[in-house]
């Protein structure tokens, strides 16, 4: 028998084991023939497929997509979204298994369950009962102990990434800010506070359901808060590393893929047009597609797809995906701000100010997003230079993230207001903080209409900037 996993994810204090195939298949047959599974043909096929895949050593490769292809390919779904059907059927499967082990399977020693966020079945014993198992105890123990060491390594890598990025990009005078999917429903981790009993209850529920999902969700939320503090590639590399760690922690948590997609898209846009940018954008698109596959009902999945489409200059798709994101969750601050960015770079400056204003209404102290800078940029293009200057100055005083884009706009605003000395001073700060940063190429890559990019670049040149 393999060393038991100490997690207790069943009400029967089960111990996870690796059973002999014949024993597992006998337990499966009893389930499929039970009254609790009578008439549930698709759920029966679902369970039979995942158990067989697991016993043949492919359990960790089971995904919603493979279930669609290998199981649902046998029966028509009448135009329904097959990935959504997988999630619904997985919930039905869990409920039927619960009824089975409370009913006709109450005395069954070998039980089948599913860890939150995974379609891979797990086998467990109600009691310490001798059962024929595969003879690989040393391998099992090594794997479990390795997972514990990996968790420690992930946290250490995270600390190094955040500290290194913060120290590398901190400049005097600039304040950069402070740095499961279950089968039936995802419970998101909310940052707890002494007066937030609901958030604490959500986290407790998530922890009891899946500690790995809670850890992944927490890290994803931290990385998301850091994402727009700087567009500098090395900063984004550090944030991307955090999202990659999230994926390692929980490969079925959509937030890791959504965040990694956004970071790769932001890294790509700082590259000159060519093979490297195309590769990064394709990788970003693949990550966004995975996030949508895992949670098409989440605003973050759609806002990630929107940002990737924007950076690929697919403006129509960017607008459609962003509108889906904000309609799914009008209170998602990140999605609102990305919609404001997409509106800004798409040339819809009125909408950019509207969406940034909506985001500002729900932003709390400590939220790190260049919200006022977005509004200031839109006001610049609308010809409201004094208002734009006030917004950027407020942003700096309040400690909002400063980026080459916001500083570039500040130079352009001073130039348009006829303050050549302040424009030159800001240009010197830009060159000191981000020497050699390709700000002109970045503006051209971001804006749908070249005239809007040229409007800023002309003001930069007037202040003394040269490419």
Q: What is the pLDDT of residues 167-188, one digit of tens each?
A: 333 333 333 333 333 333 343 4
Taking residue 319's Cβ as centre, other Cβ atoms within 10 Å add up to: 19
Among 264, 275, 260, 235, residue whose Cα is nearest residue 404: 235
Q: Is the pLDDT of residue 322 over 90?
A: yes
Q: Is the pLDDT of residue 232 over 50?
A: yes
Is 112 within a domain?
A: yes
Is 217 within a domain?
A: yes
**237 and 309 part of one domain:** yes
Q: Considering its fold, how many domains does the chain have in total? A: 3
Taking residue 94's Cβ as centre, other Cβ atoms within 10 Å add up to: 17
Q: Is the pLDDT of residue 371 over 50?
A: yes
**252 and 388 part of one domain:** no
Among 16, 88, 30, residue whose Cα is nearest residue 59: 16
Q: Which residues contact 334 (CB under 8 A, 6 or more apart)?
A: 224, 300, 303, 369
**25 and 76 part of one domain:** yes
Q: Is the pLDDT of residue 149 over 80?
A: no
CA distances from 338 to 216, 258, 402, 411 (A): 23, 13, 16, 23
pLDDT category at 452 given cuts 50, 70, 90 is very high
**324 and 391 part of one domain:** no
Query: 3-class SS at 189?
Result: coil
HSE at residue 91, side-chain half, CA atoms within 13 A, is 11
**100 and 163 part of one domain:** no
**393 and 458 part of one domain:** yes
Q: Which residues contact 411 (CB under 8 A, 6 or more apart)?
A: 423, 426, 427, 430, 459, 460, 463, 465
Task: Specify the pLDDT at position 204.
Answer: 56
**169 and 119 part of one domain:** no
Is 174 within a domain?
A: yes
Task: Specify the pLDDT at position 214.
Answer: 76
Last residue of a domain, one of 274, 304, 328: 328
Task: Specify the pLDDT at position 26.
Answer: 87
CATH of the domain at 222: 1.25.40.10
- Full-model pTM: 0.56
Beta partners for residue 110, in sequence order? 125
Residue with tokens 């130079």: 411
Structural domain that includes position 71: 15-129
For residues 94 and 385, what is the distance between their CA atoms, to the nearest angstrom? 59
For residues 189 and 181, what is the distance between their CA atoms, to the nearest angstrom? 11
**229 and 319 part of one domain:** yes
Asked if 36 contacts 49 with a C-beta cutoff of 8 angstroms, the reply is no
Order the strands of the 15-17 sheet from edge to edge.
15-17, 121-125, 110-114
Q: Which helix (H) or strand (E) holds 17?
A: strand 15-17
Is 353 within a domain?
A: no
Among 381, 383, 379, residue whose Cα is nearest residue 392: 379
**167 and 123 part of one domain:** no
Among 219, 433, 359, 430, residue whose Cα is nearest residue 227: 219
**235 and 106 part of one domain:** no
DSSP string, 78-142: TT--HHHHHHHHHHHHHHHHHHHHHTTTTT-SEEEEE-TT---EEEEESSS----B-S-HHHHHH
Strands 110-114, 15-17: pairing is unpaired
Q: Is the pLDDT of residue 241 over 70?
A: yes
Asked if 425 contacts 411 with a C-beta cutoff of 8 angstroms, the reply is no
**373 and 320 part of one domain:** no
Among 454, 349, 369, residue whose Cα is nearest residue 412: 454
Once rounded to an integer, what is the mean pLDDT over residues 246-260?
91
Task: Specify the pLDDT at position 68.
Answer: 79
**211 and 317 part of one domain:** yes
Q: Among 174-183, 384-393, 424-433, 458-467, which is the least confidently predicted range?
A: 174-183
- Based on its alpha-carbon atoms, the radius of gyration of the chain, rounded to whole angstroms, reads 26
Is 424 within a domain?
A: yes
């Amino acid at each position: 028998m393999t060393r038991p996993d100490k997690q207790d994810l069943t009400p029967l204090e089960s111990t996870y084991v690796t059973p002999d195939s014949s024993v597992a298949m006998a337990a499966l047959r009893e389930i499929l023939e039970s009254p609790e599974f009578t008439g549930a043909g698709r759920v029966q096929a679902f369970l039979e497929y995942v158990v067989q895949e697991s016993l043949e050593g492919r359990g960790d490769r089971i995904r919603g997509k493979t279930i669609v292809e290998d199981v649902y390919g046998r029966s028509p779904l009448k135009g329904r979204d097959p990935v959504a059907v997988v999630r619904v059927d997985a919930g039905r499967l869990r409920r039927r298994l619960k009824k089975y082990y409370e009913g006709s399977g109450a005395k069954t020693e070998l039980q089948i369950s599913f860890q939150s966020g995974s379609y891979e079945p797990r086998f467990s014993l109600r009691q310490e009962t001798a059962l024929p198992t595969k003879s690989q105890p040393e391998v099992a123990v090594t794997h479990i102990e390795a997972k514990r060491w990996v968790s420690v390594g992930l946290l250490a890598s995270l600390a190094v990434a955040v500290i290194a990025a913060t120290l590398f990009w901190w400049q005097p005078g600039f304040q950069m800010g402070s740095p499961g999917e279950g089968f039936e429903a995802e419970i998101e981790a909310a940052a707890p506070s002494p007066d937030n009993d609901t958030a604490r209850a959500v986290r407790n529920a998530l922890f009891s359901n899946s500690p790995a999902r809670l850890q992944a969700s927490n890290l994803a939320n931290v990385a998301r808060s850091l994402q727009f503090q700087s567009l500098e590639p090395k900063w984004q590399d550090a944030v991307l590393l955090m999202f990659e760690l999230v994926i390692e922690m929980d490969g079925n948590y959509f937030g890791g893929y959504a965040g990694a997609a956004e970071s790769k898209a932001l890294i790509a846009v700082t590259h000159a047009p060519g093979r490297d940018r195309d590769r990064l954008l394709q990788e970003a698109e693949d990550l966004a597609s995975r996030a949508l596959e895992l949670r098409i009902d989440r605003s973050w999945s759609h806002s990630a797809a929107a940002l990737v489409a924007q950076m690929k200059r697919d403006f129509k798709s960017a607008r459609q995906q962003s509108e889906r994101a904000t309609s799914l969750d009008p209170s998602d601050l990140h999605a609102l701000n990305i919609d404001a960015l997409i509106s800004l770079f798409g040339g819809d400056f009125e909408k950019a100010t509207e969406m940034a204003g909506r985001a500002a209404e729900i932003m709390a102290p400590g939220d790190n997003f260049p919200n006022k800078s977005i509004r200031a940029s839109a006001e610049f293009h609308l010809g409201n230079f004094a208002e734009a200057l006030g917004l950027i100055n407020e942003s700096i005083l309040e400690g909002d993230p400063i980026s080459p884009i916001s500083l570039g706009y500040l130079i352009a605003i001073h130039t348009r207001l006829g303050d050549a000395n302040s424009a030159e001073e800001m240009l010197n700060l830009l060159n000191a903080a981000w020497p050699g940063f390709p700000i002109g190429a970045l503006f051209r890559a971001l804006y749908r209409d070249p005239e809007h990019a040229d409007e800023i670049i002309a003001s930069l040149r007037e202040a003394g900037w040269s490419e």
